[in-house]
Amino acid sequence: MPRELLLQVSPEIAANEVLLREQVAKLFQVTATEIQKVVVLKRSIDARQKAIKINIKANVYFNGENVTEQAITLPEYKNVSNAQEVIIVGAGPAGLFAALQLIELGLKPIVIERGKDVRGRRRDLKAINVDHVVNEDSNYCFGEGGAGTYSDGKLYTRSKKRGDVDRILRLLVGFGATPDILVEAHPHIGTNKLPKIIQDIREKIIACGGQVLFETRVTDFIVKNNEIQGIVTQNGDTISANKVILATGHSARDIFELLDRKKIFIEAKPFALGVRAEHPQELIDKIQYSCDFRGEYLPPAPYSIVKQVNGRGMYSFCMCPGGVIAPCATSPGEVVTNGWSPSKRDQNTANSGIVVELKLEDFKPFAQYGALAGMEFQRAIEQKAWHLAGETQKVPAQRMVDFTQNKISASIPKTSYVPGTTSVEMGQVFPGFLTQIMREGFVQFGKSMRGYMTNEAILHAPESRTSSPVRIPRDNETLEHLQIKGLYPCGEGAGFAGGIISAAIDGEKCALKIAEALAK
Protein backbone atom coordinates (compact mmCIF):
# COMPACT_ATOMS: atom_id res chain seq x y z
CA MET A 1 0.00 0.00 0.00
CA PRO A 2 1.32 3.47 -0.81
CA ARG A 3 1.94 6.00 1.95
CA GLU A 4 0.00 9.24 1.54
CA LEU A 5 2.15 12.25 2.27
CA LEU A 6 1.59 16.01 2.65
CA LEU A 7 4.67 18.16 2.26
CA GLN A 8 5.91 21.63 1.36
CA VAL A 9 8.86 22.02 -0.98
CA SER A 10 10.53 24.75 -3.00
CA PRO A 11 9.31 25.40 -6.55
CA GLU A 12 12.55 23.95 -7.91
CA ILE A 13 12.07 20.66 -6.05
CA ALA A 14 8.40 20.46 -7.03
CA ALA A 15 9.36 20.78 -10.70
CA ASN A 16 11.99 18.03 -10.63
CA GLU A 17 10.99 14.38 -10.14
CA VAL A 18 14.47 13.34 -8.96
CA LEU A 19 14.75 16.16 -6.41
CA LEU A 20 11.24 15.47 -5.17
CA ARG A 21 12.06 11.79 -4.63
CA GLU A 22 15.18 12.77 -2.69
CA GLN A 23 13.16 15.13 -0.49
CA VAL A 24 10.58 12.43 0.22
CA ALA A 25 13.36 9.96 1.04
CA LYS A 26 14.73 12.37 3.69
CA LEU A 27 11.30 12.60 5.31
CA PHE A 28 11.06 8.79 5.50
CA GLN A 29 14.74 8.52 6.50
CA VAL A 30 15.55 6.14 3.66
CA THR A 31 17.71 6.37 0.56
CA ALA A 32 16.20 7.69 -2.66
CA THR A 33 16.84 4.32 -4.32
CA GLU A 34 14.39 2.69 -1.93
CA ILE A 35 11.55 4.79 -3.30
CA GLN A 36 10.08 3.47 -6.50
CA LYS A 37 7.77 6.36 -7.38
CA VAL A 38 6.17 9.53 -6.01
CA VAL A 39 2.72 10.10 -7.52
CA VAL A 40 1.56 13.69 -7.02
CA LEU A 41 -2.18 13.84 -6.30
CA LYS A 42 -2.66 17.56 -5.64
CA ARG A 43 -0.43 20.61 -6.01
CA SER A 44 -0.87 24.26 -5.00
CA ILE A 45 1.26 27.36 -4.46
CA ASP A 46 1.68 28.97 -1.03
CA ALA A 47 2.92 32.53 -1.62
CA ARG A 48 2.00 33.94 1.80
CA GLN A 49 5.63 34.12 2.92
CA LYS A 50 8.65 35.56 1.16
CA ALA A 51 10.02 32.04 0.63
CA ILE A 52 7.39 30.61 -1.70
CA LYS A 53 6.48 26.96 -1.20
CA ILE A 54 4.58 24.37 -3.19
CA ASN A 55 2.05 22.29 -1.25
CA ILE A 56 2.03 18.68 -2.44
CA LYS A 57 -0.20 15.75 -1.61
CA ALA A 58 1.32 12.53 -2.93
CA ASN A 59 1.29 8.76 -2.79
CA VAL A 60 4.73 7.28 -2.10
CA TYR A 61 5.52 3.78 -3.41
CA PHE A 62 8.51 1.87 -2.08
CA ASN A 63 10.39 -0.81 -4.03
CA GLY A 64 8.35 -3.97 -4.52
CA GLU A 65 4.97 -2.26 -4.18
CA ASN A 66 2.51 -2.22 -7.07
CA VAL A 67 2.18 1.29 -8.45
CA THR A 68 -1.49 1.97 -9.08
CA GLU A 69 -2.34 5.09 -11.01
CA GLN A 70 -5.93 5.53 -12.08
CA ALA A 71 -6.26 5.07 -15.82
CA ILE A 72 -8.43 7.71 -17.46
CA THR A 73 -10.86 6.10 -19.86
CA LEU A 74 -14.05 7.37 -21.42
CA PRO A 75 -17.38 5.78 -20.52
CA GLU A 76 -18.84 3.17 -22.84
CA TYR A 77 -20.92 5.42 -25.03
CA LYS A 78 -23.81 3.65 -26.73
CA ASN A 79 -24.97 3.81 -30.31
CA VAL A 80 -28.11 5.92 -30.08
CA SER A 81 -28.90 6.33 -33.77
CA ASN A 82 -32.41 4.95 -33.33
CA ALA A 83 -33.06 6.09 -29.76
CA GLN A 84 -35.52 8.70 -28.50
CA GLU A 85 -34.39 12.19 -29.46
CA VAL A 86 -33.68 15.10 -27.15
CA ILE A 87 -33.00 18.58 -28.53
CA ILE A 88 -30.14 20.57 -27.00
CA VAL A 89 -30.02 24.26 -27.93
CA GLY A 90 -26.43 25.44 -27.61
CA ALA A 91 -23.05 23.68 -28.02
CA GLY A 92 -21.27 25.20 -25.05
CA PRO A 93 -20.05 23.12 -22.11
CA ALA A 94 -23.59 22.67 -20.73
CA GLY A 95 -24.92 21.47 -24.08
CA LEU A 96 -21.97 19.24 -25.00
CA PHE A 97 -21.79 17.49 -21.62
CA ALA A 98 -25.57 17.08 -21.62
CA ALA A 99 -25.21 15.38 -25.01
CA LEU A 100 -22.51 13.00 -23.75
CA GLN A 101 -24.60 12.13 -20.70
CA LEU A 102 -27.68 11.48 -22.83
CA ILE A 103 -25.66 9.07 -24.98
CA GLU A 104 -24.50 7.23 -21.85
CA LEU A 105 -28.15 6.93 -20.88
CA GLY A 106 -29.20 5.59 -24.28
CA LEU A 107 -30.85 8.76 -25.64
CA LYS A 108 -30.09 10.57 -28.89
CA PRO A 109 -29.01 14.21 -28.62
CA ILE A 110 -29.66 16.68 -31.42
CA VAL A 111 -27.37 19.62 -30.66
CA ILE A 112 -28.39 22.85 -32.36
CA GLU A 113 -25.75 25.60 -32.52
CA ARG A 114 -26.25 29.01 -34.13
CA GLY A 115 -22.51 29.48 -34.67
CA LYS A 116 -19.85 27.64 -36.63
CA ASP A 117 -17.53 24.80 -35.66
CA VAL A 118 -14.24 25.70 -33.98
CA ARG A 119 -12.35 25.94 -37.26
CA GLY A 120 -14.96 28.15 -38.90
CA ARG A 121 -15.09 30.41 -35.84
CA ARG A 122 -11.45 31.40 -36.30
CA ARG A 123 -12.18 33.38 -39.46
CA ASP A 124 -14.90 35.33 -37.68
CA LEU A 125 -12.64 36.03 -34.71
CA LYS A 126 -10.05 37.41 -37.11
CA ALA A 127 -12.74 39.58 -38.70
CA ILE A 128 -13.72 41.16 -35.40
CA ASN A 129 -10.09 41.69 -34.35
CA VAL A 130 -8.73 43.01 -37.63
CA ASP A 131 -11.68 44.31 -39.62
CA HIS A 132 -13.97 45.29 -36.73
CA VAL A 133 -16.77 43.19 -38.26
CA VAL A 134 -19.10 41.41 -35.81
CA ASN A 135 -20.85 38.25 -37.00
CA GLU A 136 -23.94 37.96 -34.80
CA ASP A 137 -23.93 34.16 -35.00
CA SER A 138 -20.21 33.40 -34.88
CA ASN A 139 -17.93 35.26 -32.48
CA TYR A 140 -16.17 34.84 -29.13
CA CYS A 141 -19.50 33.98 -27.44
CA PHE A 142 -21.33 31.94 -30.10
CA GLY A 143 -20.10 28.83 -31.87
CA GLU A 144 -18.86 25.36 -31.03
CA GLY A 145 -17.79 25.17 -27.39
CA GLY A 146 -19.51 28.45 -26.53
CA ALA A 147 -17.78 31.35 -24.82
CA GLY A 148 -15.47 28.97 -22.95
CA THR A 149 -13.65 27.81 -26.09
CA TYR A 150 -11.93 31.16 -26.59
CA SER A 151 -11.91 32.50 -23.03
CA ASP A 152 -9.06 30.88 -21.19
CA GLY A 153 -10.29 27.41 -20.28
CA LYS A 154 -10.32 27.88 -16.51
CA LEU A 155 -11.60 24.76 -14.79
CA TYR A 156 -11.71 25.98 -11.22
CA THR A 157 -15.03 26.20 -9.42
CA ARG A 158 -15.92 26.92 -5.80
CA SER A 159 -19.30 25.25 -6.34
CA LYS A 160 -18.37 21.76 -5.15
CA LYS A 161 -21.95 21.19 -4.03
CA ARG A 162 -23.17 21.46 -7.62
CA GLY A 163 -21.92 18.00 -8.52
CA ASP A 164 -18.97 15.79 -9.35
CA VAL A 165 -16.17 18.14 -10.43
CA ASP A 166 -13.63 15.30 -10.76
CA ARG A 167 -15.91 13.45 -13.18
CA ILE A 168 -15.91 16.44 -15.55
CA LEU A 169 -12.15 16.82 -15.26
CA ARG A 170 -11.63 13.11 -15.99
CA LEU A 171 -13.86 13.33 -19.05
CA LEU A 172 -11.83 16.30 -20.31
CA VAL A 173 -8.61 14.30 -19.84
CA GLY A 174 -10.25 11.42 -21.70
CA PHE A 175 -10.87 13.79 -24.59
CA GLY A 176 -7.28 15.03 -24.67
CA ALA A 177 -6.69 17.52 -21.85
CA THR A 178 -3.42 17.18 -19.92
CA PRO A 179 -3.72 15.04 -16.76
CA ASP A 180 -2.27 18.00 -14.84
CA ILE A 181 -5.80 19.38 -14.56
CA LEU A 182 -6.51 16.57 -12.07
CA VAL A 183 -3.61 17.72 -9.89
CA GLU A 184 -3.48 21.51 -9.96
CA ALA A 185 -5.47 23.49 -7.39
CA HIS A 186 -6.58 25.91 -10.11
CA PRO A 187 -6.65 23.79 -13.30
CA HIS A 188 -6.48 25.47 -16.68
CA ILE A 189 -6.40 24.13 -20.24
CA GLY A 190 -5.66 27.22 -22.33
CA THR A 191 -7.48 28.76 -25.24
CA ASN A 192 -5.05 27.26 -27.74
CA LYS A 193 -5.70 23.69 -26.52
CA LEU A 194 -9.46 23.76 -25.96
CA PRO A 195 -10.65 23.76 -29.61
CA LYS A 196 -9.18 20.29 -30.32
CA ILE A 197 -10.82 18.88 -27.18
CA ILE A 198 -14.17 20.41 -28.13
CA GLN A 199 -13.86 19.01 -31.65
CA ASP A 200 -13.16 15.51 -30.29
CA ILE A 201 -16.25 15.70 -28.09
CA ARG A 202 -18.36 16.65 -31.10
CA GLU A 203 -16.91 13.81 -33.16
CA LYS A 204 -17.74 11.34 -30.37
CA ILE A 205 -21.36 12.59 -30.27
CA ILE A 206 -21.70 12.09 -34.02
CA ALA A 207 -19.93 8.71 -34.00
CA CYS A 208 -22.47 7.46 -31.46
CA GLY A 209 -25.42 8.48 -33.60
CA GLY A 210 -26.12 11.93 -32.19
CA GLN A 211 -26.44 14.99 -34.39
CA VAL A 212 -24.69 18.37 -34.24
CA LEU A 213 -26.17 21.09 -36.45
CA PHE A 214 -24.04 24.21 -36.90
CA GLU A 215 -25.17 27.58 -38.26
CA THR A 216 -28.69 26.69 -37.12
CA ARG A 217 -30.40 29.34 -35.05
CA VAL A 218 -33.57 28.69 -33.07
CA THR A 219 -36.21 31.30 -33.88
CA ASP A 220 -39.25 29.78 -32.20
CA PHE A 221 -40.38 27.16 -29.72
CA ILE A 222 -43.35 24.95 -30.53
CA VAL A 223 -45.51 24.84 -27.41
CA LYS A 224 -48.94 23.25 -27.04
CA ASN A 225 -50.89 23.19 -23.76
CA ASN A 226 -47.76 24.41 -21.96
CA GLU A 227 -45.74 21.44 -23.23
CA ILE A 228 -42.72 21.75 -25.51
CA GLN A 229 -43.15 20.03 -28.89
CA GLY A 230 -40.00 21.14 -30.69
CA ILE A 231 -38.23 24.13 -32.21
CA VAL A 232 -38.22 26.14 -35.44
CA THR A 233 -34.97 27.26 -37.10
CA GLN A 234 -34.14 30.42 -39.05
CA ASN A 235 -34.83 28.53 -42.30
CA GLY A 236 -38.34 27.66 -41.18
CA ASP A 237 -37.43 24.03 -40.52
CA THR A 238 -39.15 22.25 -37.65
CA ILE A 239 -37.39 19.74 -35.38
CA SER A 240 -39.74 17.85 -33.10
CA ALA A 241 -39.04 16.55 -29.60
CA ASN A 242 -40.88 16.70 -26.30
CA LYS A 243 -37.69 17.20 -24.32
CA VAL A 244 -35.56 20.31 -24.98
CA ILE A 245 -32.48 21.41 -23.02
CA LEU A 246 -32.02 25.17 -23.34
CA ALA A 247 -28.28 25.79 -22.95
CA THR A 248 -27.73 28.94 -24.98
CA GLY A 249 -25.25 30.83 -22.76
CA HIS A 250 -25.36 34.23 -21.09
CA SER A 251 -25.33 36.32 -24.28
CA ALA A 252 -28.24 34.79 -26.22
CA ARG A 253 -30.37 37.93 -26.11
CA ASP A 254 -32.57 36.82 -28.99
CA ILE A 255 -33.60 33.73 -26.97
CA PHE A 256 -34.42 35.85 -23.93
CA GLU A 257 -36.49 38.14 -26.15
CA LEU A 258 -38.24 35.17 -27.75
CA LEU A 259 -39.18 33.71 -24.37
CA ASP A 260 -40.45 37.09 -23.21
CA ARG A 261 -42.45 37.59 -26.39
CA LYS A 262 -44.07 34.17 -26.04
CA LYS A 263 -44.98 34.92 -22.41
CA ILE A 264 -42.74 32.06 -21.23
CA PHE A 265 -41.78 33.09 -17.73
CA ILE A 266 -38.32 34.59 -17.18
CA GLU A 267 -37.07 37.08 -14.61
CA ALA A 268 -34.40 39.76 -14.34
CA LYS A 269 -31.28 38.63 -12.49
CA PRO A 270 -28.54 40.74 -10.87
CA PHE A 271 -25.07 40.36 -12.37
CA ALA A 272 -21.75 42.22 -12.16
CA LEU A 273 -20.27 44.79 -14.51
CA GLY A 274 -17.11 46.88 -14.74
CA VAL A 275 -13.84 47.08 -16.65
CA ARG A 276 -10.98 44.82 -17.67
CA ALA A 277 -7.67 45.91 -16.17
CA GLU A 278 -4.35 45.05 -17.81
CA HIS A 279 -0.99 45.17 -15.98
CA PRO A 280 2.49 44.05 -17.05
CA GLN A 281 2.73 40.42 -15.91
CA GLU A 282 6.14 41.20 -14.40
CA LEU A 283 4.51 43.75 -12.08
CA ILE A 284 1.87 41.26 -10.88
CA ASP A 285 4.64 38.70 -10.30
CA LYS A 286 6.54 41.18 -8.12
CA ILE A 287 3.43 41.97 -6.08
CA GLN A 288 2.28 38.38 -5.61
CA TYR A 289 5.62 36.64 -5.21
CA SER A 290 7.42 39.50 -3.38
CA CYS A 291 10.43 39.15 -5.64
CA ASP A 292 12.07 41.01 -8.52
CA PHE A 293 11.99 37.99 -10.82
CA ARG A 294 9.80 34.93 -10.41
CA GLY A 295 12.31 32.49 -11.95
CA GLU A 296 11.68 29.49 -14.17
CA TYR A 297 9.89 27.29 -11.64
CA LEU A 298 6.94 29.51 -10.78
CA PRO A 299 4.04 30.17 -13.15
CA PRO A 300 2.92 33.70 -14.03
CA ALA A 301 1.18 34.93 -10.90
CA PRO A 302 -2.60 35.29 -10.74
CA TYR A 303 -4.43 37.45 -8.24
CA SER A 304 -7.83 37.46 -6.58
CA ILE A 305 -9.16 40.45 -4.70
CA VAL A 306 -12.50 41.40 -3.18
CA LYS A 307 -13.55 44.62 -1.45
CA GLN A 308 -16.79 46.04 -0.09
CA VAL A 309 -17.31 49.57 -1.39
CA ASN A 310 -20.41 51.55 -0.43
CA GLY A 311 -22.23 48.34 0.40
CA ARG A 312 -21.32 46.63 -2.89
CA GLY A 313 -18.87 43.89 -3.70
CA MET A 314 -16.10 44.92 -6.12
CA TYR A 315 -13.88 42.04 -7.17
CA SER A 316 -11.57 40.50 -9.73
CA PHE A 317 -13.25 38.20 -12.24
CA CYS A 318 -11.79 35.72 -14.76
CA MET A 319 -8.19 36.76 -14.04
CA CYS A 320 -5.86 35.78 -16.91
CA PRO A 321 -2.13 35.57 -16.07
CA GLY A 322 0.08 35.85 -19.14
CA GLY A 323 -3.03 36.54 -21.20
CA VAL A 324 -4.70 38.99 -23.53
CA ILE A 325 -7.94 40.97 -23.76
CA ALA A 326 -10.39 39.99 -26.50
CA PRO A 327 -13.32 41.72 -28.27
CA CYS A 328 -16.49 39.86 -27.32
CA ALA A 329 -19.35 41.84 -28.87
CA THR A 330 -22.20 39.73 -30.24
CA SER A 331 -23.91 42.45 -32.30
CA PRO A 332 -22.79 45.45 -34.36
CA GLY A 333 -22.98 48.74 -32.49
CA GLU A 334 -21.57 47.49 -29.18
CA VAL A 335 -18.19 46.72 -27.63
CA VAL A 336 -17.50 44.11 -24.95
CA THR A 337 -14.24 42.88 -23.42
CA ASN A 338 -13.15 39.55 -22.00
CA GLY A 339 -9.80 37.89 -21.32
CA TRP A 340 -8.04 34.62 -22.09
CA SER A 341 -4.66 32.94 -21.70
CA PRO A 342 -2.85 30.38 -23.84
CA SER A 343 -1.89 27.12 -22.11
CA LYS A 344 1.64 28.34 -21.30
CA ARG A 345 0.37 31.73 -20.09
CA ASP A 346 3.41 33.21 -21.77
CA GLN A 347 2.17 36.66 -22.82
CA ASN A 348 3.84 39.62 -21.08
CA THR A 349 0.58 41.07 -19.80
CA ALA A 350 -1.93 40.04 -17.14
CA ASN A 351 -5.57 41.07 -17.21
CA SER A 352 -8.65 40.66 -15.07
CA GLY A 353 -12.21 41.79 -15.07
CA ILE A 354 -12.74 44.20 -12.18
CA VAL A 355 -16.46 44.29 -11.62
CA VAL A 356 -19.09 45.60 -9.23
CA GLU A 357 -22.14 43.65 -8.15
CA LEU A 358 -25.39 45.16 -9.41
CA LYS A 359 -28.81 45.07 -7.79
CA LEU A 360 -32.24 44.81 -9.35
CA GLU A 361 -32.96 48.38 -8.27
CA ASP A 362 -30.16 49.57 -10.59
CA PHE A 363 -32.29 48.52 -13.56
CA LYS A 364 -35.22 50.85 -12.72
CA PRO A 365 -34.46 53.22 -15.65
CA PHE A 366 -35.23 50.22 -17.90
CA ALA A 367 -38.31 49.05 -16.01
CA GLN A 368 -40.45 49.19 -19.16
CA TYR A 369 -38.53 46.14 -20.43
CA GLY A 370 -39.78 44.00 -17.53
CA ALA A 371 -37.71 40.84 -17.13
CA LEU A 372 -35.26 42.16 -19.75
CA ALA A 373 -34.43 45.32 -17.75
CA GLY A 374 -30.99 44.05 -16.72
CA MET A 375 -30.21 43.01 -20.28
CA GLU A 376 -31.12 46.47 -21.57
CA PHE A 377 -29.01 48.10 -18.83
CA GLN A 378 -26.11 45.95 -20.02
CA ARG A 379 -26.75 46.70 -23.69
CA ALA A 380 -26.98 50.46 -23.11
CA ILE A 381 -23.50 50.56 -21.55
CA GLU A 382 -22.01 48.45 -24.36
CA GLN A 383 -23.56 50.73 -26.99
CA LYS A 384 -22.42 53.90 -25.23
CA ALA A 385 -18.87 52.52 -25.02
CA TRP A 386 -18.98 51.73 -28.76
CA HIS A 387 -20.07 55.29 -29.54
CA LEU A 388 -17.48 56.95 -27.28
CA ALA A 389 -14.59 54.87 -28.65
CA GLY A 390 -15.29 55.79 -32.27
CA GLU A 391 -17.96 53.33 -33.43
CA THR A 392 -15.57 50.51 -34.32
CA GLN A 393 -14.39 47.62 -32.16
CA LYS A 394 -11.96 49.92 -30.38
CA VAL A 395 -12.83 50.24 -26.70
CA PRO A 396 -12.72 53.16 -24.25
CA ALA A 397 -9.50 53.04 -22.23
CA GLN A 398 -7.94 54.98 -19.37
CA ARG A 399 -4.91 54.67 -17.15
CA MET A 400 -5.90 53.41 -13.70
CA VAL A 401 -4.64 56.34 -11.60
CA ASP A 402 -6.10 58.80 -14.12
CA PHE A 403 -9.47 57.08 -13.74
CA THR A 404 -9.43 57.45 -9.96
CA GLN A 405 -8.61 61.15 -10.42
CA ASN A 406 -11.27 61.77 -13.08
CA LYS A 407 -8.58 62.75 -15.60
CA ILE A 408 -8.45 61.84 -19.30
CA SER A 409 -5.22 59.96 -20.05
CA ALA A 410 -2.95 61.96 -22.35
CA SER A 411 -1.84 58.73 -24.01
CA ILE A 412 -2.74 55.07 -23.99
CA PRO A 413 0.09 52.60 -24.74
CA LYS A 414 -0.52 49.68 -27.04
CA THR A 415 -2.29 46.96 -25.08
CA SER A 416 -3.08 43.32 -25.83
CA TYR A 417 -6.53 44.30 -27.10
CA VAL A 418 -5.94 43.93 -30.85
CA PRO A 419 -8.72 46.18 -32.28
CA GLY A 420 -7.24 49.10 -30.34
CA THR A 421 -8.26 51.65 -27.74
CA THR A 422 -9.51 55.24 -27.54
CA SER A 423 -8.64 57.47 -24.59
CA VAL A 424 -11.93 58.17 -22.82
CA GLU A 425 -12.83 59.35 -19.32
CA MET A 426 -14.60 56.22 -18.03
CA GLY A 427 -17.12 58.25 -16.10
CA GLN A 428 -18.82 58.83 -19.45
CA VAL A 429 -19.31 55.09 -19.97
CA PHE A 430 -20.90 54.09 -16.66
CA PRO A 431 -23.70 55.39 -14.47
CA GLY A 432 -22.41 57.75 -11.76
CA PHE A 433 -22.88 55.33 -8.86
CA LEU A 434 -20.86 52.64 -10.63
CA THR A 435 -18.05 55.04 -11.55
CA GLN A 436 -17.77 56.23 -7.95
CA ILE A 437 -17.62 52.70 -6.55
CA MET A 438 -14.87 51.70 -9.00
CA ARG A 439 -12.83 54.82 -8.26
CA GLU A 440 -12.94 54.17 -4.52
CA GLY A 441 -12.44 50.46 -5.04
CA PHE A 442 -9.24 50.81 -7.05
CA VAL A 443 -7.78 52.96 -4.28
CA GLN A 444 -8.60 50.19 -1.79
CA PHE A 445 -7.13 47.58 -4.15
CA GLY A 446 -3.90 49.59 -4.20
CA LYS A 447 -3.68 49.55 -0.42
CA SER A 448 -4.07 45.75 -0.30
CA MET A 449 -1.76 45.01 -3.24
CA ARG A 450 1.10 47.48 -3.08
CA GLY A 451 1.95 48.54 -6.62
CA TYR A 452 -1.37 47.46 -8.15
CA MET A 453 -2.70 51.01 -8.42
CA THR A 454 -0.49 52.43 -11.14
CA ASN A 455 -0.78 54.30 -14.42
CA GLU A 456 1.02 51.36 -16.02
CA ALA A 457 -2.34 49.58 -15.66
CA ILE A 458 -4.82 50.27 -18.46
CA LEU A 459 -8.57 49.93 -17.96
CA HIS A 460 -10.69 48.74 -20.90
CA ALA A 461 -14.47 49.12 -20.90
CA PRO A 462 -16.77 47.41 -20.49
CA GLU A 463 -16.46 43.98 -18.89
CA SER A 464 -20.19 43.31 -18.99
CA ARG A 465 -20.83 39.61 -19.75
CA THR A 466 -19.92 38.19 -16.35
CA SER A 467 -23.15 36.19 -16.05
CA SER A 468 -26.65 36.13 -17.46
CA PRO A 469 -28.85 39.20 -16.86
CA VAL A 470 -31.84 36.83 -16.92
CA ARG A 471 -32.88 33.76 -14.96
CA ILE A 472 -35.10 31.15 -16.62
CA PRO A 473 -36.72 29.56 -13.57
CA ARG A 474 -37.05 25.81 -13.18
CA ASP A 475 -38.37 23.31 -10.66
CA ASN A 476 -35.72 22.41 -8.09
CA GLU A 477 -36.53 18.71 -8.30
CA THR A 478 -37.39 17.99 -11.96
CA LEU A 479 -35.27 20.85 -13.42
CA GLU A 480 -38.13 21.56 -15.87
CA HIS A 481 -39.26 25.10 -16.55
CA LEU A 482 -41.89 26.16 -14.03
CA GLN A 483 -44.42 26.77 -16.80
CA ILE A 484 -43.42 24.70 -19.85
CA LYS A 485 -43.27 20.93 -19.39
CA GLY A 486 -40.34 19.27 -21.16
CA LEU A 487 -38.25 22.48 -21.33
CA TYR A 488 -35.05 22.30 -19.26
CA PRO A 489 -33.32 25.67 -18.69
CA CYS A 490 -29.64 24.88 -18.26
CA GLY A 491 -26.21 26.39 -17.63
CA GLU A 492 -25.04 29.99 -17.56
CA GLY A 493 -27.70 31.44 -19.83
CA ALA A 494 -30.49 30.23 -17.56
CA GLY A 495 -28.70 31.47 -14.45
CA PHE A 496 -27.66 28.08 -13.04
CA ALA A 497 -23.91 28.00 -13.66
CA GLY A 498 -20.85 30.22 -13.79
CA GLY A 499 -17.98 28.77 -15.80
CA ILE A 500 -17.01 25.67 -17.78
CA ILE A 501 -17.14 23.15 -14.93
CA SER A 502 -20.40 24.24 -13.32
CA ALA A 503 -22.05 24.53 -16.75
CA ALA A 504 -20.92 21.02 -17.71
CA ILE A 505 -22.20 19.64 -14.40
CA ASP A 506 -25.56 21.36 -14.93
CA GLY A 507 -25.81 19.90 -18.43
CA GLU A 508 -25.29 16.40 -17.03
CA LYS A 509 -27.88 17.00 -14.32
CA CYS A 510 -30.50 18.04 -16.87
CA ALA A 511 -29.75 14.96 -19.00
CA LEU A 512 -30.16 12.69 -15.97
CA LYS A 513 -33.49 14.29 -15.08
CA ILE A 514 -34.75 13.77 -18.63
CA ALA A 515 -33.81 10.09 -18.49
CA GLU A 516 -35.63 9.78 -15.16
CA ALA A 517 -38.74 11.44 -16.59
CA LEU A 518 -38.77 9.20 -19.67
CA ALA A 519 -38.35 6.07 -17.55
CA LYS A 520 -41.55 6.76 -15.59
160-169 mean pLDDT: 78
Q: Helix (H, G, I), strand (E, B), or coil: what is residue 514?
A: helix
Query: Is the per-residue pLDDT at 193 higher than 90?
Result: no
pLDDT band with cut points at 50, 70 and 90 for residue 152? low
pLDDT of residue 417: 98
pLDDT over 90, % of the chain: 89
This prediction's pTM: 0.95
Cross-strand partners of 56: 7, 43
Q: How far apart, in whole angstroms, are the C-alpha atoms of residue 402 and residue 408?
A: 6
Query: Is the per-residue pLDDT at 239 higher than 80?
Result: yes
User: What single string gives the DSSP state of each residue in 226-264?
Assistant: TEEEEEEETTS-EEE-S-EEE---TT-HHHHHHHHHTT-
Q: How far apart, in whole angstroms, are the C-alpha atoms of residue 96 and residue 89?
A: 10
**Secondary structure letter of residue 84 according to DSSP:** P
pLDDT of residue 49: 85
pLDDT band with cut points at 50, 70 and 90 for residue 161? low
Q: How far apart, in whole angstroms, are the C-alpha atoms of residue 121 and residue 277?
A: 26
The string of pLDDT tens digits covering residues 26-42 is: 999 999 999 999 999 99
Torsional sign, CA 172, 175, 177, 182 = positive
125-130 mean pLDDT: 95
**Secondary structure letter of residue 183 according to DSSP:** T
Query: Is the per-residue pLDDT at 158 higher than 80?
Result: no
pLDDT of residue 4: 95
Query: Is the per-residue pLDDT at 113 higher than 60?
Result: yes
374-389 mean pLDDT: 98
pLDDT over 70, % of the chain: 98
- Residue 276 has φ and ψ, to the nearest 5°, of -115, 120
> What single letter denotes the amino acid at residue 474?
R
pLDDT of residue 162: 54
pLDDT of residue 497: 93
pLDDT of residue 359: 98
Q: Helix (H, G, I), strand (E, B), or coil: what is residue 275?
A: strand
163-180 mean pLDDT: 92
pLDDT of residue 151: 62
pLDDT of residue 274: 98
User: What single string gives the DSSP state of each residue in 480-510?
Assistant: -BSSSBTEEE-TTTTTS--SHHHHHHHHHHH
The string of pLDDT tens digits covering residues 448-458 is: 999 999 999 99
Q: Specify whether the CB–CB gap between 472 and 266 falls below 8 A.
A: yes
Which class does domain 85-267+468-519 fall in?
alpha beta
pLDDT of residue 406: 96
User: What single string gives the DSSP state of each residue in 296-327?
Assistant: SSSPPP----EEEETTEEEEEEEEETT-EEEE
Query: Is the per-residue pLDDT at 487 higher than 60?
Result: yes
Domain spans of the chain, in order of start:
3-62, 85-267+468-519, 272-463
pLDDT of residue 148: 78
Average pLDDT of the chain to the nearest whole number: 95
